[in-house]
A and B are shown apart, each in its own frame.
Chain A
Amino acid sequence: MKRLTTLALLGALASGPALADLVFPDLSYRTGAYAAGGIPFSDGYQDYFTLVNERDGGIGGVMAKVIECETGYNTEKGVECYEATKGEGALIYQPLSTGITYQLIPKVTADGIALHTMGYGRTSAANGRVFSHVFNYPANYWDAATVAIKYLSEENNGDLNGKKIVLLYHNSAYGKEPIRTLEEMSAKHGFELTTIAVDHPGQEQKSQWLQIRRERPDYVIMWGWGVMNQVAIQEAANIRFPMDHFIGNWWAGAEHDVIPAGAAADGYKSLNMNKVEALPVFDDIRKYVVDAGKAAGDGTNVGSVLYTRGMYAALLAVEAAKTAQQIHGTAQIDAAMMRDGMEALDMTAAKMEALGVPGIGPEFTVTCADHGGTGLSVVQQWDASAQKWKVLTDFIAPDDSVTDPLVLADSEAFAAENGIELRCQ
C-alpha cells in the first residue's frame, strides 16, 4: 500500500506540465547546521529564474521551472533528491555541497547531465579533458588558496619567508581541499603552515583557538561553512586575534558570519568570487519578484553576499542555456545540449553589463579542456559600523604555476583509476 501511494504520487508529479519547461532542480538546504548559508543562496538561485520568467518570458521563450529539494547538506538525502528530480528533464545540478558533489560526479557523467559546482566541489574537475560533465567555473578552491597567499604576500611586500600561517578548516572533503595547494605554496614562499581541523558542525572551537593563541600565527586562513564561521570569528575576537589578519575563503565571508560577533568582527577579511555591490539587477528582482510576492524567501536577503552568489549561479546557468539554444538552434534544449552550452559559455564584460550585473564576476571563457574559468577573486573586508562588506582589491589572479600541475596530477589519477579516455585531443 505504502509503495502504491508513493508510486501514484510520483506519477502525478511526473505527468505535470514539466514537459515544456526547462527544468533546473535546486538541491537546497534550509534546515540543519548549514541552513544559514543555504537559505540566501537558494533564494538567489530561485529568484533569478523567477525574474527571467516574469521579465523576459523565460529563456528564449521557454519558461524555466525550478524544482526545490531539501538535502539538509546530507549526502544520502542529496542522492535521493538527485534520483527524484533527474527524471523530470533536469538540465543542470548545483548542489552547493562538496560532499554531494563527489557523490554526483560519477552519476551525472553516466546520466549525461551537467553538474556545475561554482567555487566548490572537486577542484580537479576544472580539467575538462577528464571530467566531461562537471564544471567549476569561475573559480575553485585551489585558486582561492593561491589568491589568499598572493594577497598576504603583497601585504608583506612580496616576502612571506618565516611567517606562520594557520589553516583552520572544516574537517570534511570541503575543508581538506586547499591543504595540498597550501603545502605547495608554503614550500614556494617559505612560510610555515599549520593545519587545524574543526569537526562538523563546528560549534565548539575552544581548543582550536587555544592552539592558535599558543602558536601566535601571523595569519589565520579559514575554510569554514555554516555555524563554524560565526563561532570562529567570535572565538578570534575572544582571544583578541587581529581581525585583519584573519582571512576566510568565499564560503566564510557572508553577513550572517560576522554580524553575531558585533563590533568585534570589524576588519575581518574574506575572499569573494563575485563582487557585492548595488547591481541594477536587484532593482528588477525587487520589482518583478519580491514586490510581486513571488520571492523564494522573504525578500530580505536580496543583495547579500550569498544571495548574490546564488543569483550569479543561476545567471551563469541561464546564459549557458541561451548559448545552448544558439548552438543547437532550438529553444527546447535537453541536458546534453545544456552541457554543450556550458562548454561554450563566454562571459564578457559587455554581456554582464547588458544583464544588469556589471563586474559581478571576472570575464572568462569555458572551453572543452578548461572547465574551471580564470579563478580570479577579490578580497573584501567587513565594516562593522556600516554593516557592509567593502571590496579591498581588484580581481586577483591565482598562481596557475602551482594549481595547474596539481589539477593535472589529480584529474589524471582519477582518469586512470576509472579508465576514462581523455577528451578534446
Chain B
Amino acid sequence: MFYREAGDFKTSYRSDNQTFPIAFDRYRYYAVLAVAIGVVPFVVDDYWANAVLLPFLIWSIAAIGLNILTGYCGQVSLGTGGFMAVGAYACYKLMTAFPELNIAFCILLGGGVTALVGVLFGLPSLRIKGFYLAVATLAAQFFLVWLFNRVPWFYNYSASGQISAPERTVFGIAVTGPNTQAWATYLFCLAFVIVLGWLARNLTRGTVGRTWMSIRDMDIAAEIIGVNPLTAKLTAFAVSSFFVGVAGALFFAVYLGAVEVGEAFGISKSFLVLFMIIIGGLGSIFGSLAGAAFMVLLPVLLKNVLVGGLGWDTVLAAHLELVIVGALIIVFLIVEPHGLARLWDLAKEKLRLWPFPH
C-alpha cells in the first residue's frame, strides 16, 4: 500500500540505479540515519555504548569486510581475527610513535597496513581454492597472533605484553582512553560504519564488485571474459583486510582500550565474524549489519533477560545462552540458508503486495 514502486517514476539512469529505488525504503534509511545520529547520542549511557552499540558497530565493519572477501569474491577466510590484530597493533604503534597524529588517521592507516598484510596472505588464493584456502588463511591467523606475542617491539616492550590505548581526541573530545563519553565513542564508531558501509555498497555494485562476483560465480568463465583473477582476488583481499583492520583498530582503541592478542584476536573471533556473515547473509551489506547485530546483541539480551529479569543463576544462564545461540544458528541455517538478509528481502516482497497478495 505504502511500500511500492508504482507512481515512483525514474527519469534518469542515476535515480534508477540508486541503492534504495523505492521511496519508502529511502525515507526509512534516512530515518534510521537521523535516529542514529540525532537521537541515540543524546540518550546513550555507558552501558548501552560499551556493552551493546560499540561492539555492534565495530563487528559490523569486520563483517562487511569479510563479506566482501567471502560473500562477494567467494574466497573463504579464517584469518579475520589475525587481520584485526594487525589493525590493532598497527594503530597502537602509530598512536605511540606519533602522538600528535589524529586518531582517525591512525585507525585508517592501521586499516591500510592490514590491507598490505591481507594482500600478502591473499597471494596463495591465486593457486588454491575453497577449503585449502581456508587452511592457508588459518595459518595467517595463527602466525599473526604468534608474531604479536613473540616480538616485543609490537607491544613496546611492556612487561605484560598488553597494549593499551593512550588518550586521543577528535575536535578536542576524547574518543580513546579512560575519560571518554559514551556519546563520543558511539558517534566516532558510527561515522566509520556509515562511511565504510557507503564505500562498500558502492564498491560492490561498481566494476570492482562485479569482477569480484564474477570470480565468485565461476572463475574460469570470468577469466575468459577478460577479468584478471590476480587483480580481482588481490583487490578483494586488500579491501576486505582494510575493513577488518579498521574494525580491529577500533576494537582495540575505542572499545576495549587494552588488549592482549591471544585473547582478543584469537581464532574464536575469526569464527564469530564468519558466523555473522553466514547468519546475516553472504554477499549483502545489510546482511553484515544484521548478522553482527544478531551475534552481538543476542547474548547480551539473553543475559539480561535470564539473569537480570528472571533472576536465574549466572552459570545456568551462561550455559543456556550457549545452547540458545547455538540452536538459533542451526535453526536459521535450516530455515533460511541465505540468512537474515534474505528474510528481509522476503519481507519486503510481501510488503510490496500488501494488502492484496493476489
Interface residues of A (CB under 8 A from B): 2, 5-6, 9-10, 12-13, 28, 30-31, 68-70, 72, 74-76, 79-80, 83-84, 86-87, 98-99, 102-103, 105-107, 109-110, 122-124, 171-174, 176-177, 179-180, 197, 199-200, 406, 410, 417-419
B309 & A173 in contact (Cβ 8 Å cutoff)? no
Indicate whether A12 sits within 8 Å of B300 (C-beta atoms), given known contacts A199-B262, A200-B266: no
Q: Is the interface of B mostly helix, strand, loop or mixed?
A: helix
Residues of B within 8 A of A176 (CB): 159-161
Indicate whether A30 sits within 8 Å of B314 (C-beta atoms), given known contacts A5-B305, A74-B263: yes
**Which residue from A6, A9, A72, A179 sits with its C-beta under 8 Å from B318?**
A72
26 A-B residue pairs with Cβ-Cβ distance under 8 Å, sorted by A, are A5-B305, A6-B304, A9-B305, A10-B47, A28-B314, A30-B314, A30-B318, A31-B318, A70-B303, A70-B307, A70-B314, A75-B264, A79-B50, A80-B300, A83-B50, A84-B51, A99-B162, A99-B260, A102-B164, A107-B257, A171-B262, A172-B161, A172-B260, A173-B162, A173-B260, A419-B167
14 additional A-B residue pairs with CB within 8 Å, beyond A31-B319, A180-B159? A6-B305, A69-B314, A70-B314, A74-B263, A76-B264, A83-B50, A99-B162, A99-B260, A102-B160, A102-B260, A106-B164, A107-B257, A172-B262, A176-B159
Per-residue contact bits, chain B 154-190, to A (CB 8 Å; 1 contact, 0 not) = 0000011110101100000000011100000000000
Per-residue contact bits, chain B 315-335, to A (CB 8 Å; 1 contact, 0 not) = 101110000000000000000
**Which residue from A31, A80, A107 sits with its C-beta under 8 Å from B178?**
A107
Which residues of B242-273 have CB atoms within 8 Å of chain A's CB atoms?
Answer: 255-260, 262-264, 266
Q: Is the interface of A mostly helix, strand, loop or mixed?
A: helix
- Place the interface of chain B in its size category: 35 or more
A410 & B159 in contact (Cβ 8 Å cutoff)? yes
Residues of B within 8 A of A99 (CB): 162, 260, 263
B166 & A70 in contact (Cβ 8 Å cutoff)? no
Residues of B within 8 A of A406 (CB): 159
A12 & B309 in contact (Cβ 8 Å cutoff)? yes
**Which residue from B255, B260, B308, B315 sits with its C-beta under 8 Å from A30?**
B315
| Interface hub of B178, B266, B314, B318 (most chain A Cβ within 10 A) | B314
Residues of B within 8 A of A5 (CB): 301, 305
Min CB–CB distance B221 → chain A (angstroms): 43
A103 & B257 in contact (Cβ 8 Å cutoff)? yes
A80 & B50 in contact (Cβ 8 Å cutoff)? yes
- Rounded to whole angstroms, the CA-CA distance of A174 and B305 in the bound complex is 33
B318 & A70 in contact (Cβ 8 Å cutoff)? yes
B55 within 8 A of A: yes
A68 & B160 in contact (Cβ 8 Å cutoff)? no
A200 & B262 in contact (Cβ 8 Å cutoff)? yes
B16 within 8 A of A: no
B167 & A102 in contact (Cβ 8 Å cutoff)? no
Residues of B within 8 A of A68 (CB): 314
For the complex of A and B, list the 3 residue pairs with the smallest distance between their C-beta atoms, beginning with the closest: A106-B178, A173-B160, A110-B178
B297 within 8 A of A: yes
**Which residue from B149, B258, B309, B314 sits with its C-beta under 8 Å from A171?**
B149
Min CB–CB distance A219 → chain B (angstroms): 22
**Which residue from A2, A30, A70, A75 sits with its C-beta under 8 Å from B259?**
A75
B223 within 8 A of A: no
A418 & B167 in contact (Cβ 8 Å cutoff)? yes
Residues of B within 8 A of A105 (CB): 258
